[in-house]
């Protein structure tokens, strides 16, 4: 039988399912963890959503997603702080140990200014996060998203920022979809763990050719990412957390989700054995 003890599902991966359906099928499939996207927690609310997950012997791994700090307008920057505090409140209600940050970028600002505003925004809320026992987890995104989604585009940039803030309540998420291309990835994975900042690990694959830069992620083993190599680096670093399946795919969302879930479990099992 496949070892799924480190397998976590992001609820957006099976987007057509309501949380009640997702939790039922995840538990049946042998999944052990759930990373909850905000929209999927809205029907029951964060408190009841967390209870439902734990009642099915699953672990709440993270809450997704905060961030989007940079803006040319102070009013919008202030609103981002307010919105992130609300997300922290929801994460605490859910019982999630971390809030994943898609940090944001402002096309009207240069990237360095966006990065300064990201660090400033995190520093503004880190004490609030600590009070609620929710870690803020910086997720670097592929450079193709540097226009509006994130000015943090390499693991090195995320590491530098986390080390500068120097709080146990700030960590880093390593997502293979965004970082597989980086020639410094191995070194920066070890650095991330050595500084105690390696908080989350997300997996999927990069389809060739890809038909959409956001909504065409592949199952593990379908594309060109050397997942077996990255997994070995992650394990060698000492990271012991979940391996979180996060797949955005219009193609898969149109399919029968139970059959899709079976494909996910098989691809994860093959990935784990590699």
CA end-to-end distance (rounded Å), the chain:
15
Q: Give percent above pLDDT 70 in the chain.
A: 100
If pLDDT is split at 50, 70 and 90, which confidence band does 145 have?
A: very high
**How far from the centroid of its chain's Cα atoms is residue 116's Cα?**
22
265's tokens: 């479990």
- Contacts of residues 109-115 at CB distance under 8 Å and 24 or more positions apart, as own/partner, are 109/70, 109/72, 111/146, 111/151, 113/70, 114/70, 114/151, 115/151, 115/152, 115/157, 115/161
| For residues 77-101, average pLDDT | 98
Q: What is the pLDDT of residues 159-216, one digit of tens each?
A: 999 999 999 999 999 999 999 999 999 999 999 999 999 999 999 999 999 999 999 9
| For residues 138-144, average pLDDT | 98
If pLDDT is split at 50, 70 and 90, which confidence band does 1 have?
A: low
Q: Which residues pair with 243 in a beta bridge?
A: 7, 201
pTM: 0.98
Q: What is the pLDDT of residues 29-87, one digit of tens each?
A: 999 999 999 999 999 999 999 999 999 999 999 999 999 999 999 999 999 999 999 99
**Whole-angstrom distance, CA of residue 80 vs CA of residue 77:** 5
pLDDT at residue 111 is higher than 80:
yes
Q: Which residues pair with 247 in a beta bridge?
A: none
| For residues 209-237, average pLDDT | 97
Indicate the helix (H) or strand (E) that contains 217: strand 217-218
Length of the chain measured in residues: 274
**DSSP states along 238-253:** T--S-EEE---BHHHH
Q: What is the pLDDT of residues 118-136, one digit of tens each?
A: 999 999 999 999 999 999 9
Give residue 261's pLDDT. 98
Give residue 2's pLDDT. 79
Question: Residue 24 CB: number of other CB atoms within 10 A?
Answer: 14
Please provide the average confidence, as pLDDT, over all residues in the chain: 98
């Amino acid at each position: 039988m496949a070892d799924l003890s480190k397998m976590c599902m992001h609820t957006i991966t099976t987007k057509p399912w309501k949380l009640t359906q997702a939790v039922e099928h995840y538990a049946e499939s042998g999944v052990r963890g759930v990373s909850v996207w905000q929209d999927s927690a809205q029907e029951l609310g964060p408190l009841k959503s967390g209870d439902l997950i734990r009642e099915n012997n699953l672990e709440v791994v993270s809450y997704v997603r905060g961030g989007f700090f940079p803006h040319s307008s102070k009013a919008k920057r202030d609103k981002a702080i307010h919105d992130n505090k609300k997300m922290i409140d929801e994460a605490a209600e859910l019982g999630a140990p971390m809030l994943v940050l898609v940090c944001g970028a402002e096309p009207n600002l240069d990237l360095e200014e966006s990065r300064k505003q990201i660090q400033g925004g995190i520093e503004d809320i880190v004490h609030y996060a600590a009070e609620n026992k929710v870690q803020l987890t910086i997720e670097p995104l592929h450079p193709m998203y540097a226009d509006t989604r994130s000015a943090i585009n390499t693991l090195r940039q995320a590491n530098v920022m986390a080390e500068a803030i120097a709080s146990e309540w700030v960590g880093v998420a390593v997502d293979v979809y965004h970082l597989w291309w980086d020639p410094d990835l191995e070194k920066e994975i070890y650095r991330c763990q050595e500084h105690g900042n390696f908080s989350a690990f997300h997996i999927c694959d990069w389809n060739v050719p890809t038909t959409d830069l956001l909504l065409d992620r592949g199952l593990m083993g379908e594309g060109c990412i050397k997942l077996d190599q990255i997994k070995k680096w992650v394990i060698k670093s000492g990271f012991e957390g979940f391996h979180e399946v996060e797949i955005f795919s219009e193609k898969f969302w149109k399919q029968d989700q139970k059959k899709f879930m079976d494909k996910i479990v098989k691809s994860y099992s093959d990935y784990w054995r590699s």
